[in-house]
Structure 1
């Protein structure tokens, strides 16, 4: 009877224990898509992320980065005759000779998606669209966007102008670390005051409906507004070749995600896919701080130091994105020597610590010296208080023996000199007699 009760109890616990199962992947109709953790860059979902596609106005993310890093936002810009020529699509009707601040052009670029503003920024910073495109491509390579090539600053369709969902995600991740960029794309309205060529203000509005729209879309069988809780950017795009594109960002608590959708068939499909990507990230993953700056690790022995050990700590805060429902504990792998030799400056990297879950690396942090350890000075052989020899260490004996030997040699030399003097004195006295 007891065995039966135990068996039934174990069966009950087994059946009612929470079991982790992989989350169902989102249904994405667009040509390419990705969602990543904005802090770590970890890919949470992907579809054709390295396929080269026309990026349309999501190109302006790169233009905005360079404008902020290279330009002076308070500077007045005089629009040249070339800028308005050949501009199609979204614009703010810039006129030759018109004077605007560089900041106004930047807001027009990122909120209104103005193609003439993009061209004005490029010419102002580099002298020509062609030269500015070289800077765009250089920056893309620096960020790791290896499958991207820009020909213009606005994203209008041109041969050899392409990017990928992955590349746009890492470009956006970099851009959102810049406070100026982040603050601009977190707005969906902006006002440009009257200029020397315009008698009325320009009122700009973003096409990123995640920020404000109550228009409804069907997500998992439910009709909900396009406006997304926590949305804070970034950039839409559309051309006949690229179709509907969106690079988006949303933050909830400590967790922030970046999603990219390329070549959606229509506007509603674009936002449905974006909702599905962001929901997938927020519903199935969470951000956890796994290490803290100045967190104590251990004391490491130090040879020949003025301190017996050095205290080691972690050099920075470290967060990781972790699947919800996992029963595995976070494991650590410590790479730290058993002992060190002085001197050790404060802040020196001693080793590192790796955090893992289910054998996969979540993140790595450096371990540094929290204190300075100087080299130990040569110990005194004679105690200054008692004038007695200190012979507790083995290396004290050679020093003492050396001093004795030197004293012996000195005494012998002194006796020899004294003996020679006596002989010389006797010789002189005998000669006088």
Structure 2
């Protein structure tokens, strides 16, 4: 009888915790890396950041930029002749031979999978004529195309240079842009590839360990030089949600991986979607209304609401607590108030109402589940106590 009672108590406790609202258990992660950021891969909304604007040395995560530039500005079917400079570069290589001819696509894959610095130099020289000229192209890309002001590259591979710097926030934005390209996504997701060259025949295994160990990880790049510490960029997908995590200057590769897993678990478990319909007006500046050009899904955490605003420069921002995110300008359309066509309804209140209703509904649902769970636990516990008293009375009558 005693064993049976303990089993019932265990069942009651299991039942209580299974119905307890999971959202109350999701806490902001404790990140050890010096800087880190987690963003929504579809919108750029920032979900977590730690010193994400601090200028750092990127190491080999630099190769994300080299890869997307090669894909967008080069012809992957081109044949590339390897120079002596590429052959002699320091660090991790795919052991290209001087004078060897290699397809550009193969070089990009070797650079991303095996972090080949020689492949990166060969790509740079093929596209721009020299490493220095390619670095100028890299900087023009991040500043003109992505409007990033805290990044400066001096080479295509990430070997240390005092002026070769970026931030976790900038690297997240660069990765978000790159992941919109299907060819890049395909290459970034390669777990291994067969490599056959004049000096090396082998099977390359991707250096990004999480890509090998977790099916929901879709790509990324790791890096290390002594001045940068361990750097890591990771993209992941789950339940139609895409996240990008960046950690920089971890004291070990294991720390970088553990911090990244904490960020991804936090992003997938602690946030719920809030949908804003196409045509929703975000705000008015002068005689111009700004509205969503397409449906937008943002994420809210358990405690704070998402707020959408428009800046004086016509840039859309989302805020969760103290975190503000600049959102993609392609999500906005503008309409002059002098336009005589049918006006768009003022939906600033309905946007807030949308997230507010969802928040209120979720809070009431969580409260109801909690009350029911506690009630069931108390009923089972009371039944056990009454059963025990009844058994004691029966024993008292049988043995006076």
Which residue in the other structure is 2:273 paired with? 287
Match of 1:30 among 25, 30, 33: 33
SS in 2 for 1:69: helix
**C-alpha separation between the residues in 1 aligned to 2:133 and 2:192?**
31
Separation in 1 of the partners of 2:56 and 2:216? 28
Of residues 219, 230, 235, the one that matches 2:221 is 235
Structure 2 Cα separation of the partners of residues 296 and 314 of structure 1: 5
Distance 1:236 1:338, change over 3 A: closer
- Identify the residue that residue 59 of structure 2 maps to in structure 1: 56
CA distance in 1, matches of 2:38, 2:306: 25
Instruction: Judge conservation of contact 2:280–2:351 (CA < 8 Å) in 1.
Output: no
* Partner residue of 1:263 out of 227, 241, 249: 249
Q: Which residue of 1 aligns with 2:259?
A: 273
Q: State the partner residue of 1:211.
A: 211
Q: How many residues align?
A: 304
For 2:48, the equivalent position in structure 1 comes to 45
Provide the residue aligned with 1:153 in structure 2: 156
Specify whether residues 23 and 149 from structure 1 end up closer, same or farther in structure 2 by C-alpha distance, changes over 3 A only. Answer: same
Superposition RMSD in Å: 3.5
CA distance in 2 between partners of 1:124 and 1:352 (Å) = 53
Whether the aligned pair in 1 keeps the contact of 2:306 and 2:355 (CA below 8 Å) is no
Describe the SS at the equivalent of 2:121.
Answer: helix
Matched residue, 1:302: none
Shift of 1:23: 5.2
1:121 alignment partner, one of 120, 123, 135: 123
Question: What secondary structure sits across from 1:122 in the alignment?
Answer: helix
2:139 maps to 1:174: no
Report what 1:93 is aligned to: 95
Matches within 5 A, 1:7-406: 24-85=27-88, 87-142=89-144, 143-193=146-196, 195=197, 197-198=198-199, 201-212=201-212, 227-291=213-277, 315-324=293-302, 341=340, 354=348, 356-357=351-352
Check whether the contact 1:90–1:113 (CA below 8 A) recurs between aligned residues: yes
Q: Who is 1:367 aligned against? A: none
Distance 1:332 1:276, change over 3 A: closer
* Secondary structure of 1:163 counterpart: coil
Cα distance change, pair 350–289 in 1 and its aligned pair in 2 (3 A): closer
Displacement of 1:146: 1.2
Q: 1:50/1:337 Cα in 2 relative to 1: closer, same or farther (>3 Å)?
A: closer
1:285 to 1:123, Cα distance in 2 relative to 1, 3 A: same
| Mapped partners of 2:244, 2:128: distance in 1 | 30
For 1:391-413, what per-residue CA distance to the aligned partner results, in whole angstroms no more than 9, with x for missing partners?
Answer: xxxxxxxxxxxxxxxxxxxxxxx
In the TM superposition, what is the alpha-carbon distance from 1:121 to its structure 2 partner?
0.3
**1:1-50 deviations in whole A, cap 9, x for unaligned?**
xxxxxxxxxxxxxxxx9898795321111110110111111111111111
Deviation at 1:324, TM superposition (A): 4.3
- Give the Å deviation of 1:350: 6.1
- C-alpha change, 1:358 and 1:91, in structure 2 (3 Å) is farther
Pairwise CA distance, 1:329: 10
SS of the equivalent of 1:72 reads coil
Aligned to 1:310: none
User: Is the 2:23–2:269 Cα contact (8 Å) retained in structure 1?
Assistant: no
Cα deviation digits, residues 373-422 of structure 1 (max 9, x gap): xxxxxxxxxxxxxxxxxxxxxxxxxxxxxxxxxxxxxxxxxxxxxxxxxx
* 2:298–2:306 contact (8 Å) kept in structure 1: no
Unpaired runs of at least 5, structure 2: 1-19, 282-290, 311-333, 357-400
Larger Rg: 1
Residue 229 of structure 1 and its aligned partner are, at CA, apart by: 4.6
Partner SS, residue 82 of structure 1: helix
User: Measured at CA, do residues 244 and 329 of structure 1 come closer, stay the same or move farther in structure 2, by a change above 3 Å?
Assistant: closer
Q: For residue 158 of structure 1, report the CA deviation from its aligned partner.
A: 1.1
The answer on whether the counterparts of 1:332 and 1:356 sit within 8 Å (CA) in structure 2 is no
CA deviation map 1:95-142 (0-9, x unaligned): 111011110001011111100000000000001000000011111113
SS of the equivalent of 1:158 reads: coil
For the 8 Å contact 1:76–1:100, the answer to whether it is kept is yes
